[in-house]
Amino acid sequence: MSGPLVLGIESSCDETSVGIVRGAELLANEVASSVAAHARFGGVVPEVASRAHLEAMTPTLERALSSAGIELAEVDAIAVTAGPGLMGSLVVGLAAAKALASALGKPLYGLNHLVGHVAVDILDHGPLPEPVLALLVSGGHSQLLLVRDITGDITEVGTTIDDAAGEAYDKVARLLGLAYPGGPEIDRLAQQGNPKAIAFPRGLTARHDLARHRFDYSFSGLKTAVARYVEQRERDGEPISVPDVSASFQEAVADVLTAKAVDAARHFGVDHLVLGGGVAANSRLRTLMAERAAAAGIELRRPRPGLCTDNGAMIAVLGAQVMEAGRPPSSPTISADSGMPVERVLA
Ligand code: KG4
Ligand code: ZN
């Protein structure tokens, strides 16, 4: 395999991660998570995350170099998440990346975290077929993206009008008394539950909503419905089956995510779909998406679950793609952009 040797740094939320790729080949992906430090608060505390990034950055970099079996001086470029994400967390990764690029005299690519989530599948399944419709579902985003060129032509065709899918998982988990982050917990408990036990609502699927929000998502009504269900059972002194609530909630999320993704792919005449983001690790979403894509004659690409959640390899592989496409590197003085729009691949 060939291609540029790129080191990617990710620090947009609570994972400090350094990945190393050669073109589309994964050489290392080291992740240090500060999730345990946030667990008792039920969500990420920005100041705690920033400090954890500072402490973890150098050891994570060293681990990545040693597991890839390369020297820093061999690297062709430094890629880093420039946004979107938590400002204080992003600046730690950017400072490290700028220092490395300047010390090594190598180009710096400040990249979009969301696009990294889509690009990561290249490490598992090779070059992305383009155009491809991406279903990007993470803790902060739920979007349908029409990707004509992963290095510079991305259009958002749908988004959430309230909570992100992962946010809904985390909030529902909290009201069920489960640990943070809630996605993996609900996924696990749902295996023992009945997805048809409770008929939870499917947001923005009624006829009048489809007219305005055909490709958009909404999860806050679903979250409220779960809260009402739990309150009602408690008031009536009835037991709550956490596995049944988990499975029924998960089914509602997966149902809407996959139905709208297939509808959008058909509408835009795209016959490839790719999943990305932390929620793309969800077992039910992966299965239902595969069934519905196959039924619609759409080819589905799913990165392995370990590459769905935040990691440096996704930034490194996007960096390699951008470099190979001949895009000019970022300025050595770029700033973090906490609200970086998904259409902007490179800062
Ligand atoms: O992409 P990611 O690691 O970070 C962001 O960019 O937000 O996504 C984290 C989100 C969290 O909300 C977490 O609960 C969710 O992904 N998640 C899952 C699963 N694994 C992680 N949600 C559902 N099922 C999972 N197996
Ligand atoms: Zn992410």
Q: How far is the CA of 211 from the centre of ligand 2 (A)?
A: 30
Q: What angle do CA 261, 266, 269 make, to 5 degrees?
A: 120
* 338 found inside a domain: no
User: Which residue's CA is minimally distant from atom 13 of ligand 1?
Assistant: 183
102 near 332, Cβ under 8 Å?
A: yes
Q: How far is the CA of 140 from the centre of ligand 1 (A)?
A: 9
* Residues pairing with 83 in the sheet: 112
Residue 41: predicted pLDDT: 86
Token pair 């345990």 is found at 36
* 159 found inside a domain: yes
185-221 per-position pLDDT tens digit? 999 999 999 999 999 999 999 999 999 999 999 999 9
Average pLDDT over residues 322-327: 98
pLDDT above 70 for 121: yes
Same domain flag for 222 and 137: yes
CA–CA dist 291, 64 (Å, integer) = 37
132-158 per-position pLDDT tens digit? 999 999 999 999 999 999 999 999 999
What is the position in ligand 1's atom list of the atom closest to the CA of 164? 12
pLDDT above 90 for 2: no
Residue 197: predicted pLDDT: 98
| Residue ranges making up the domain that contains 67 | 5-120+311-324
List Cβ neighbours of 150 (8 Å cut-off, separation of 6 or more). Answer: 115, 118, 119, 122, 128, 130, 318, 321, 345
Helix (H, G, I), strand (E, B) or coil at 336: coil
pLDDT above 70 for 82: yes
How many domains does the chain contain in total? 2
Residue 223: predicted pLDDT: 97
Please state the separation of Cα 184 from the chain's center in Å. Answer: 14
* 339 found inside a domain: no
* 345 found inside a domain: no
Residue 39: predicted pLDDT: 83
pLDDT above 70 for 1: no
* 295 found inside a domain: yes
Nearest to 283 by CA among 193, 176, 161: 193
Same domain flag for 196 and 134: yes
* 335 found inside a domain: no
The amino acid at residue 186 is I
Token pair 């490839």 is found at 272
Supply the mean pLDDT for the chain.
97
Same domain flag for 11 and 93: yes
Give me the percent of the chain exceeding a pLDDT of 90. 96
Residue 56: predicted pLDDT: 97
Same domain flag for 134 and 200: yes
pTM flag (> 0.95): yes
Same domain flag for 205 and 150: yes
284 near 251, Cβ under 8 Å?
A: yes
Same domain flag for 205 and 295: yes
Same domain flag for 279 and 316: no
Q: How far is the CA of 188 from the centre of ligand 2 (A)?
A: 21
* 19 found inside a domain: yes
Nearest ligand (C-alpha, residue 191): 1
Torsion of CA 61, 67, 68, 74, to 10 degrees: 50
- In the chain, the largest separation of any two C-alpha atoms, in whole Å, equals 68
CA–CA dist 320, 27 (Å, integer) = 13
What is the position in ligand 1's atom list of the atom closest to the CA of 277? 1
Same domain flag for 22 and 108: yes
Same domain flag for 144 and 190: yes
Same domain flag for 93 and 172: no
Average pLDDT over residues 328-344: 97
Same domain flag for 267 and 228: yes
* 344 found inside a domain: no
Nearest to 91 by CA among 110, 105, 77, 107: 110
CATH of the domain at 266: 3.30.420.40
Same domain flag for 196 and 277: yes
